Amino acid sequence: MELTAIASAGMTISRERPPFVADERTQLVGWLDMQRALVRYKCEGLAEADEHRSVLSTSPLMTMAGLVSHMRWTEHCWFNVLFLGESFEGNPQFQEEPEDADMRVDDAPLAKLLDEFEQQCAQSNEIIAAHSLDETGKHPDFGSAQATLRWILLHMLEETARHIGHLDTIRELLDGEKGYY
Domain boundaries, the chain: 5-175
- Identify the pLDDT of residue 180: 75
Domain 5-175 has CATH 1.20.120.450: yes
- Residue 84, phi-psi category: left (phi > 0), alpha (psi -120 to 50), beta (remainder): alpha
- Identify the pLDDT of residue 181: 63
- Residue 97, phi-psi category: left (phi > 0), alpha (psi -120 to 50), beta (remainder): beta
Q: In whole angstroms, what is the distance from residue 155 CA to residue 173 CA?
A: 27
Q: Are 28 and 150 in contact (CB under 8 A)?
A: yes
Q: Are 77 and 91 in contact (CB under 8 A)?
A: yes
- Identify the pLDDT of residue 54: 97
- Identify the pLDDT of residue 12: 60
Per-residue tens of pLDDT for the chain, all 181 residues? 233 343 444 456 778 899 999 999 999 999 999 999 999 999 999 999 999 999 999 999 999 999 999 999 999 999 999 999 999 999 999 999 999 999 999 999 999 999 999 999 999 999 999 999 999 999 999 999 999 999 999 999 999 999 999 999 999 999 999 887 6
* Cα maximum dimension of the chain: 46
Q: In whole angstroms, what is the distance from residue 73 CA to residue 29 CA?
A: 18
